[in-house]
Amino acid sequence: MPTRFRIGVLSAALITANLCAPFPPPAAAQIGPGYSIEMSRMIPMRDGVELEAWISKPDKLKSKAPTVLELTQYDIDGGTRRDFAAFVKRGFVFVQAYVRGRGKSGGVKTDNLGLQVGRDGYDVVEWIARQPWSDGRVVMYGASFVGMTQWRTAAQHPPHLAGIAPYVPIYPGWDIPNTNGIPQAWTTVILGITAGRSYNNGFVANQDYWMGKMLEAYADYQPFTQLYSAIGIEASDWWMLDEHGEKKPMLNVWMDHVGDETFNLAAEPKAVDFKQMEFPVLTATGFFDDDQPGTLRYYRHYMADAPATAVDSSYLVIGPWDHGGTHHPAKEILGLNIPEAAIIDMNKLRADWYDWVLGHGARPGLLRDKVTYFMLGADEWRSAKSLDAASSGKTFDLFLSAPEGTPRDVFHSGSLVEHPLQAEPPATIVSDPHELPELEVARYLKDEGLTSEFRDYQKRAIVFHSEPLTRDVEVAGQMKLKLIVQSDAADFDLWAQILMILPDGSTVRLGEDIRRARFRKSFFEQELLKPDQIVEIPFEFYWMARRIPAGARLRLTVAPFNSPAYQKNYNTGGRIGYESLEDARVAHIKVFHDAEHASQLILPLAASVSPSTGQ
């Protein structure tokens, strides 16, 4: 599943966050590419460090031009996607600059997740504005890590920054390097891609290696603190200072601060920063994007606090894409066919938006209101004045039910019903850290996608089905699952998945989520369970919009979470990342589903729209 190995982001195009459609070849009368590149130009920062940049300019530039800036840790030569050409052909100068510690740039990579990358972004923007070819207006481009550098730069308020377009931006401390308080193994892959000073696209393509190493560490019950060395990351390459001022592997320093809000969010833009962002934003994410949580957190803070004049020209686009597909939508994502209407030219959208905010063209037609979203099933674009306005405010609630207590398996499942039953014994889930369930399914992992259902057949899973729907149901927003539980262990991890089962028997994943019991209130608030304590474990799935057709059923599966792609929970309530197999405790988790303690699935119903306008 993507929460285990983030398979949806395993292409070089995805990681570089620079996907785009290839630009059409030049007209027959044109000789040459139509642009020139100035390679390895060094840009001075305020502290004397220099950053390496490649500058691409339209040939025969007769007047000063606006500039598109990409501040990246990946590559600056355009070798991955040649995305710069699409903008240079539109009359922009395109500057790709390496962050610290990459390429020929000075400094150390450690600074690139803190405030320093924003200060450097400020300096690069203002350096560009002083160049003889610049008209003094700079917009920013890029996604993933490069989306984050845009927000960090924006928080520094460069006077000549005219707009940013952060797609699927990572949010350090919020959606990486932990998911809901559970440390991600995927971080080691990012560190491998950027090991040394080059972009290691061969490494990211070698899934057999790094997935195999994760599986080895999992099978050997290795401490999570050793994962970076198992992958092959040199500790002196990616490091941070601990509280004693000593260098430690970056991954381990972050893990030492799981649940520490002050540490995790130290460098995030604050309300006072957003209030001074007097420039517009175009941002995008996908229903299946692992960095959707960060994208929406940035967006919501900006819309709440930025000046009204900037907000008026700002937009969010959200569609049926994964992390890479948000840059360059494809016809298929993880085995799921994507409607033709959702496959749009993202680089054209960005360039058109840049032209509009710079006063050179009309507003892109797709952007009819503040939020543009795709309704799967209806297969059409819709718009709303806000993200919340895409939902009606009404919900479709289904309660877990199983008269026997614990459903036996997928063929003898519990039910999802519209009213809770008065008295039913609870279901029991057994979470045993000694078990290694992923070894049994490892041969399926590479092919796992959005239409897979083999995890519903896990030995420890409990499954619930709804009756076939009697009418179409349109959902828009974040589905939620509230599990009322009790356990004999102080801590445990659970995974939940919602599938749509179509009348022909095929399945489509609507959402999945993982939760750690100690972080049930917030992943910045740890509270271990007490003996016999009954608590709520809240699950919240990614934002999506879909018409579920009449005749379809919903399947909810809940199981212990025990994966090589995340730090193993030994159920003791001990220090995260430092427990061992000798400490392991088998957790017996009761999931209640009676009227007094009703566990329920909540689906947000979509707002009604005008058939003629989609609004």
Averaged pLDDT, 255-282:
96
Averaged pLDDT, 356-380:
97
Least confident interval from 165-169, 242-246, 299-303, 577-581: 242-246
For residue range 196-217, what is the model confidence (pLDDT) as tens digits?
Answer: 999 998 998 999 999 999 999 9
Distance CA 500, CA 464 (A): 12
Averaged pLDDT, 130-135:
97
For residue range 58-69, what is the model confidence (pLDDT) as tens digits?
Answer: 998 888 999 999
Q: What is the pLDDT of residue 210?
A: 94
Q: Six-digit token pair at 250?
A: 């970056």
- Asked whether the predicted pLDDT for residue 6 surpasses 50, the reply is no
| Residue 233 near residue 225 (C-beta atoms within 8 A) | no
Least confident interval from 34-38, 426-430, 482-486: 34-38
For residue range 560-573, what is the model confidence (pLDDT) as tens digits?
Answer: 999 999 999 999 99
Q: What is the pLDDT of residue 32?
A: 86
Q: What percent of the chain has pLDDT over 70?
A: 93
Q: Across the chain, what does the average pLDDT equal?
A: 92
Q: What is the pTM of this model?
A: 0.93
Least confident interval from 76-90, 175-189, 577-591: 76-90
For residue range 509-530, what is the model confidence (pLDDT) as tens digits?
Answer: 999 999 999 999 999 999 999 9
Averaged pLDDT, 327-332:
91
The number of CA neighbours under 13 Å toward the Cβ of 335 is: 15
Q: What is the pLDDT of residue 612?
A: 47
Confidence class for position 369, pLDDT limits 50, 70, 90: very high
For residue 302, the 8-state DSSP code is: H
Q: What is the pLDDT of residue 4?
A: 42
* 567: β partners: none
Closest Cα partner for 373 from 384, 363, 362, 357? 384
- Asked whether the predicted pLDDT for residue 171 surpasses 70, the reply is yes
For residue range 431-455, what is the model confidence (pLDDT) as tens digits?
Answer: 999 999 998 887 766 678 899 998 9
Least confident interval from 10-24, 150-164, 601-615: 10-24
Distance CA 579, CA 464 (A): 33
Distances (CA, A) of 466 to 166, 254, 413, 504, 591: 39, 41, 10, 16, 18
Q: What is the pLDDT of residue 113?
A: 82
- Give the number of other Cβ atoms within 10 Å of residue 276's Cβ: 15
**Strand, coil or helix: what is 362?**
coil
CATH superfamily membership of 393-606: Galactose-binding domain-like (2.60.120.260)
Q: What is the pLDDT of residue 450?
A: 93
Q: What percent of the chain has pLDDT over 90?
A: 80
Q: What is the pLDDT of residue 422?
A: 81
Domain spanning 2-172+267-367 has what CATH number?
3.40.50.1820
Q: What is the pLDDT of residue 502?
A: 97
* 471: β partners: none
Closest Cα partner for 148 from 72, 46, 58? 72
- DSSP state letters, 457-508: G-TT-EEEEEPPPSS-EEEEE--EEEEEEEESSS--EEEEEEEEE-TTS-EE
| Residue 76 near residue 52 (C-beta atoms within 8 A) | yes
- Asked whether the predicted pLDDT for residue 25 surpasses 90, the reply is no
Radius of gyration of the chain (CA): 25
Q: Which segments of 22-167 are extended strands (E)?
A: 35-44, 50-58, 65-72, 93-98, 134-143, 161-167
Q: What is the pLDDT of residue 10?
A: 43
Contacts for 308 with CB less than 8 Å, ≥ 6 apart: none
- Give the number of other Cβ atoms within 10 Å of residue 258's Cβ: 23
Least confident interval from 13-22, 249-258, 350-359: 13-22
